[in-house]
Amino acid sequence: MKKDIHPTYYTDAKVVCACGNTFTTGSTKKELRVESCSKCHPLFTGQQKIVDSEGRVEKFRRRYNLGEK
């Protein structure tokens, strides 16, 4: 293996989620900031969470008369 071409691997990298959860993992970066983790992601929590940045969900509901949920 060639020397000095690989990034430094940190075995104690800190991961910080937007919900406030923190944990450690291995990474080439010392600190990682993420938007969702296993504590707040809908796949793991079972709760539906709609992230709508441009009003697409409301436009769809108005078009098909679905109302608010």
In a domain, 3, yes or no: no
68 domain residue, yes or no: no
What's the domain range around 18? Answer: 10-63
pLDDT tens column, 28-50: 999 999 988 888 877 667 776 66
Share of residues in the chain with pLDDT > 90 (%): 36
The span from the CA of 6 to the CA of 52, in Å, is: 39
pLDDT at position 26, please? 95
CATH number at residue 20: 4.10.80.400
| Sheet of 31-34, strand order | 22-27, 10-17, 31-34
58 belongs to a structural domain:
yes
The answer as to whether 29 is a domain residue is yes
Q: How much is the pLDDT for 65?
A: 78
Could you tell me if 28 and 10 are in contact, meaning their C-beta atoms sit under 8 angstroms apart? yes
Question: What confidence score (pLDDT) does residue 29 get?
Answer: 95
Domains in the chain: how many in total?
A: 1
